[in-house]
Amino acid sequence: MKPLTLLTALLLAPLEALRAADGLPEFNWDRVPLYAHLGIGDGLKPEQYEFLADHFDLIAFEGGITKQSVEPIIAAGAKTIKQRNPKAKVLFYWASDMPKHQWAHSTSTFPEGGYLQAKKNGKDSKQFDVRRPDVRDWWSGVAGKAVHDYGCDGIFVDGMTAGSKSGPWSKIFGAEQAAAMDQGVFAMIKQAREKMGPGKLIVFNPLHGYDKDHPGLGEQYLPVTDGAMVDDFDRGANVRQQSPEYMANTIEAMRKAAKDGKIVIFKGWPGFTWWSDRELMKKPHEEQLRLARENIAFPLTCFLAGAERHCYFCYTWGWLGEYGTFDWYPEFDKKLGVPKGEATREGWTFRREFEHASVFVDVEKKTGKIDWK
């Protein structure tokens, strides 16, 4: 191909293809774009790996329930997923604020004296002292191993906002020390990017909206990452309520970040979680799934009201596979099609048209409806 012809072809290539070449997952609007996030534990069953590979192009593995060191289990899981679905992107869960016991292999090389002792939620807690260069070097080194040794496509960074003004480090250590630790996190992320190499993903948690009682959270971390998870939208609704303002502004935070080219994972909850309804968790899985199917309309329509390219919907009632990861919903088989524009808003209601669906949601009444065409 002549140089000019090649240049023309590149300029005319679909944006998704160019982004995928840079490490972002492939994306299309054919159906609701989905993301899976789950604890891998001692490893999944073959049919579970097949389910993930067949239904998701973006997956994150965290530790789950296991007494083993989880790094080799995640490596095996990533390999199995990619053998069945080569285009899938698998993220390695890697908390930036505190150690997790499942990562024993990694923490065995942690720098001596690199923890800060603290009280968090009334319990003794170790926190990474990310002000220290040796701690940052260690943490970013594990991020590099996640890619080069474990075969993942990047990292899912939990707790990245701990040093923000409203974050836990400010409450634990005070604003001045938290600010210094926050700067350490930014430096650590930069090191991780260098060690992982080009085309690898850094997605953090969380990105939140705001209202009069809650400041926005996460936006300042977007420039140094590839995207974020919205994890708190209507979470635990059976025991707590969020304001319409907070929910509307969270939808806008997702839309704005995605418009800037970032991945945004919208974590939808079915009105209950594994911790907010202990009695329901004692009932058969079929009962939990029945309620989840009844309640999917509201979180799904909120997602669709603000979703842009590289936004993904995740719908479970917890982070273990048993909490809904391997369940399916009729809405996920419906043809969606490209959006015909941004949502129109009137008060606390949003309307949006897709090629094959009309979406309506009321964040005050917490109702949503999709008319599939």
Whether residue 97 is found in the same domain as residue 199? yes
At residue 124 the predicted structure's pLDDT band, cuts being 50, 70 and 90, is confident
pLDDT the model gives residue 22 = 76
Residue 78 lies in a domain: yes
How far is the C-alpha of 97 from the C-alpha of 100, rounded, in Å? Answer: 10
How would you class 33 by CB atoms within 10 Å of its CB: exposed for 0-12, middle for 13-18, buried for 19 or more? buried
Range with the poorest average pLDDT among 10-14, 109-113, 187-191, 355-359: 10-14
The pLDDT of residue 170: 95
Mean pLDDT, residues 76-93 taken together: 98
Q: Is the peptide bond before 206 cis (omega within 30 degrees of 0)?
A: yes
Residue entry with tokens 């949006």: 352
What local confidence, expressed as pLDDT, does residue 2 receive?
38
Determine, yes or no, domain membership for 146: yes
Answer whether residue 287 is part of any domain.
Answer: no
Q: Residue 262 pLDDT more than 70?
A: yes
Q: Are residues 137 and 96 in the same domain?
A: yes
User: What is the domain count for the chain?
Assistant: 2
Contact between 269 and 235 (Cβ < 8 Å): yes
Q: Which residue has the tokens 């099609």?
A: 337
**Mean pLDDT, all residues of the chain:** 94
Q: 142 and 58, same structural domain?
A: yes
pLDDT at 156 over 80: yes
Percent of the chain whose predicted confidence (pLDDT) is above 90: 91
Residue 160 lies in a domain: yes
pTM: 0.93
| Residue 330 within a domain | no
Across the range 61-75, mean pLDDT stands at 97
* Of the listed ranges 3-17, 94-108, 206-220, 271-285, the one predicted with least confidence: 3-17
174 and 72 in one domain? yes
What pLDDT digit, counting tens, does each position of 290-348 carry? Answer: 999 999 999 999 999 999 999 999 999 999 999 999 999 999 999 999 999 999 999 99
In a domain, 66, yes or no: yes
Answer whether 150's CB lies under 8 Å from 75's CB: yes
| Residue 310 vs residues 121, 234, 265, 297: alpha-carbon distances, Å | 35, 22, 8, 21
Do 1 and 99 fall into the same domain? Answer: no
Identify the CA nearest to 228 among candidates 91, 50, 62, 109: 91
Within-domain flag for 273: no
CA angle in degrees (0–180, nearest 5) for 185-189-194:
150
* Any domain includes 344: no
Exposure string (b/e) for 48-59, b if CB count within 10 Å is 16 or more?
bbebbbeebbbb
pLDDT over 70 at 17, yes or no: no
Query: Is residue 19 over pLDDT 70?
Result: no
What is the domain range of residue 13? Answer: 1-30
Residue 6: is its pLDDT beyond 50? Answer: no
The answer on 173 and 151 residing in a single domain is: yes
Q: What number is the average pLDDT over the span 211-224?
A: 96
Taking only the tens place, the pLDDT of each residue in 86-95 is 999 999 999 9
pLDDT of residue 7: 40
Does 40 lie in the same domain as 24?
no
C-alpha 315/C-alpha 328 separation (Å) is 10
> What pLDDT score was predicted for residue 328?
98
pLDDT at 122: 77
